[in-house]
Amino acid sequence: MTTISPIITTRQTILTALKSTGAVTAIVPAERIYPSKAPASPIYPLIRYGQPTADPVRLSGGDGGAVSSIVQCYVAKQRGVIDDPETTCGDLVKAIADALDALPGCFVTLTQLFDDPQEADTKRGVVSFTQTTI
């Protein structure tokens, strides 16, 4: 059964895909992939699912929706573990984008990599996507 607002099912699909993709979990353990909010004192690297929006899709054969959101990732410099957070974050953005783009009805619309303004020596990556469910 579909719904015109598949926000929750889309979030579950995305999180499950990320936690089961080896290229993603090689960088971020599955237990550090969060539904939305990370803990107050997080351990890096980590991934969190953004705030989604849904556009209803109404067809004669059934209803559905297009959910647009972002997946954010954060990578901090860690001596002897992650010496180059920019490269590691770039690799993680690629792995996330590949995992999402492989899902049926899911299309990556933008990837971005930049300095995290709140944390020194931390890079932030963003993967924007839209998933249509009918």
Query: Could you tell me if residue 114 is inside a domain?
Result: yes
Q: What is the pLDDT of residues 32-90, one digit of tens each?
A: 999 989 999 899 999 999 999 988 877 666 667 889 999 999 999 988 888 999 999 99
Query: Could you tell me if residue 92 is inside a domain?
Result: yes
Distance, in Å, from the CA atom of 114 to the CA atom of 120, rounded to the nearest integer, reads: 12
Spatial CA neighbour of 134 closest among 63, 68, 61, 69: 63
Q: What is the DSSP letter of 52?
A: -
Query: Could you tell me if residue 1 is inside a domain?
Result: no
Query: Could you tell me if residue 20 is inside a domain?
Result: yes
Total domain count, the chain: 1
User: Which domain covers residue 17, as residue numbers?
Assistant: 7-133
Question: Which CATH number is 69's domain given?
Answer: 3.30.2000.30
pLDDT score at 101? 96
Query: Could you tell me if residue 31 is inside a domain?
Result: yes
Per-chain mean pLDDT for the chain:
91
